[in-house]
Every structure is written in structure tokens, then in C-alpha cells.
Chain A
Amino acid sequence: MAKARIAAIVAVLACCLALVATAFATFERHQWAGNGYHLESGQNGFINHDVILDESQGKGENRAVCAGIRGIGDTCVGRGEEAVYGTKGIAVEAEPYIHNHDTEAGYFNAWYYGEP
């Protein structure tokens, strides 16, 4: 009886550890905008589908940019800076986006940390 209980506890712990390991292992940096991704001043750029993520990043080519997660929030930075907006390590299913925060049009790069 005791052996069965211990075996069950070990199995549950192993399962939990495997789930945690899988979650960490699959969170990678994905670039979804770049290579001439152009936005007018004030224009948003969306990935157009939800992903599992916990961090959104954006960088303008000498342009001010905001990087965010739709419905949650964003971070805006000046020219030459790279913006990061995260959900404090908690994975969410949502859409990453960037925003041209500059007075001029320009080219942008964007990434998110999440599942492939």
C-alpha cells in the first residue's frame, strides 16, 4: 500500500516536472517582422494570429517603437532603443504587435518569446 502511494506521488511529480521542462524548452525567440517591414508614422503592425508567449520585442531602424501584447499592454522607446514588454513570466495566448511611435515612417523588426 505504502509502495503504491510513493509510486503515485513520484509519478505525479515526474509528470509536473516534465510539463514545466516542456514549457521552458519550447519558449524560443521568434522574429515575425523584419526584412523591410515598413510602417507609416502611427501605424500598428500585427502578427494577425494569437500565439502562446510571455514577451514581445520591437526595434525600429532609427525609429521610435512600441512593442506590446494586444489587450494587455505595451512599452514604447525612443530611436536606437529596443522595446520589451513582458507578462512577468506568465504565458498568455494573445497577439504580439508593434507600433511606429516615430514622427516618420520607417522599417521595423519584431520578435516574441513563446511557443513555435
Chain B
Amino acid sequence: MMMRVVPLSRAKALILGALAIAAGVALLIVTTSGGTARAGSGQAVTQGDYAVLTSSAGGDASSSAPQSASSGEGNQPIASSLTTIALGKPNIALRIAKSTEGGVCVFVERKGARGDGGSCASAALLRTGATAEVHEASGEITIAGVVPDGVSSVNVQLAGGASQTVPVVDNGWAIEDAPASMVTFSDVVGG
């Protein structure tokens, strides 16, 4: 069978070219806005980028809310959103909550400790999340935090120059019995 090649008119060629460019731009937009790795992109991070807060477990820990959850003053945790994160560390209880100023809170408790600690970050800090470093009179240090979806681990720089890479589970991470205080930490996205 013979194929006949029909030359395109100038107008048709221009239309096809424009359509091809539009399709390419649309594909680029879909590719960059998809997925869950918000922490590394330029998009605004919201409380909705903490999947554990919207999962079926959301609000499961409101009965053990800290006293500040009921005060309504300052940037406080919203008790009804308090959720336990199953880190897989039997001596650590980690909880996350939405904060009254649009951010997130993290609460960490070491089994056997006399006290527990927490932190509430403002909405402006949703990209990095919230961290809490709890010191006990016995010298024990527990460091924990919450990060948005897409962060697979955090690299924690400790005082004295040491560092630890800690896996993120359900938006949460923790170091039990840290050898030193935290200086800073950085997210590892994906991987």
C-alpha cells in the first residue's frame, strides 16, 4: 500500500507546534506538583502535609494532652488532633498535634522519666517541623521531632561534632539516650 505524504500548511504547522509546547508545559506542571516530597520543593507546606495527622489514628491521644492544650493562649497544641506516632521504639512515646497558630507540635516522653517535653512551631516553620530536646536531671537526653511528608530521614548534628542519621516513621523521628545535645539537623528527602 502506498502512503501519501501531504505537506502541512503554514497555519496547521503553527497550531501543532503551539499544542506541542502547551502539552510539554502541562506535563512539567503535573510532574513537579505531584508526589509527596513537599519538603524539597518550593511549594508552601501545610498541616495537611503531615499525613499522620489525617490518618485513621488522628486524635487518638487527646486523652493524654498536656495541660497547655486547654489554655487557648499562645501557640498551643489542639487536643483533638493529638496523635500517637508508632516509632517502634518501646521506651519512647512520641505524639504530634496541630497547633493553634497553624503549625505543628511534637511531644516526647521516655519511659521511666519523671518528666516529658514538647514544642510547638509556628506555621512559618512547617517546612522544617518541630523538635524537642528533653534533658533529665539524671543526664539522659532524648531528641525528637516531626517533619513533613516526603522526608525519609534526618541527619542530626550533635555538639562535639558527631552526627546521627535517624529514619523518619509516620512523620516522626527520635534519638533515645543521645550522647550530646543537638546543634542542628537537616532533612533527607526520598531515598
Point out the residues of chain A lying under 8 angstroms from B71, CB to CB. 29, 113
Judge if A116 is at the interface, Cβ distance under 8 Å: no
Judge if B133 is at the interface, Cβ distance under 8 Å: yes
Q: Mark A21-54, 1 if CB is under 8 A from B, else 0.
A: 0000001010000000000000000000000001
Q: Which of B12-20, B49-57, B134-142 contacts A (4 or more CB under 8 A)?
A: B134-142
Q: What is the minimal beta-carbon distance from B108 to any residue of chain A, in angstroms? A: 9
Interface contact B74-A77, CB-CB below 8 Å: no
Q: Is chain A's binding surface mostly helix, strand, loop or mixed? A: strand
Q: What is the minimal beta-carbon distance from B158 to any residue of chain A, in angstroms? A: 13
Interface footprint category on B: 20 to 34
**Interchain CA distance A57-B181 in the complex, whole Å:** 19
Interface contact A77-B131, CB-CB below 8 Å: yes
Q: Which of B22-30, B38-46, B119-127, B169-177 contacts A (4 or more CB under 8 A)?
A: B119-127
Q: Which of B1-9, B82-90, B109-117, B160-168 contacts A (4 or more CB under 8 A)?
A: B109-117
Interface contact B134-A113, CB-CB below 8 Å: no
**Total interface residues on A, using CB and 8 Å?**
29
Point out the residues of chain A lying under 8 angstroms from B68, CB to CB. 29, 55, 57, 84, 113
**Interchain CA distance A90-B32 in the complex, whole Å:** 49
Partner of A82, one of B74, B116, B135: B74
Q: What is the minimal beta-carbon distance from A22 to any residue of chain B, in angstroms? A: 16
Interface contact B109-A84, CB-CB below 8 Å: no
Point out the residues of chain A lying under 8 angstroms from B124, CB to CB. 80
Point out the residues of chain A lying under 8 angstroms from B107, CB to CB. 84
Judge if B154 is at the interface, Cβ distance under 8 Å: no
Q: Which of A67-99 contact B (CB under 8 A)?
A: 68-69, 71-78, 80-89
Judge if A63 is at the interface, Cβ distance under 8 Å: no
**Interchain CA distance A96-B77 in the complex, whole Å:** 21
Point out the residues of chain A lying under 8 angstroms from B135, CB to CB. 66, 68, 73-76
Judge if B132 is at the interface, Cβ distance under 8 Å: yes
Q: Which residue of A lies closest to B118 (CB)?
A: A84
Using A29-B71, A55-B67 as known contacts, say yes or no to A85 and B121 having CB atoms under 8 A apart: no
Interface contact A80-B117, CB-CB below 8 Å: no
Point out the residues of chain B lying under 8 angstroms from A68, CB to CB. 135
**Interchain CA distance A66-B136 in the complex, whole Å:** 12
Taking A77-B119, A84-B66 as given, write out 19 further A-B residue pairs in contact, using a Cβ cutoff of 8 Å, ordered by the A residue number: A55-B67, A57-B74, A66-B135, A73-B113, A76-B133, A76-B135, A77-B132, A80-B122, A81-B125, A81-B131, A82-B119, A83-B132, A84-B117, A84-B118, A84-B119, A86-B116, A88-B114, A111-B74, A113-B67
Q: Which residues of A contact B (CB under 8 A)?
A: 27, 29, 54-55, 57, 59, 66, 68-69, 71-78, 80-89, 111, 113
Report, nearest first, the 3 A-B pairs whose CB atoms are least far apart: A75-B117, A77-B119, A84-B118
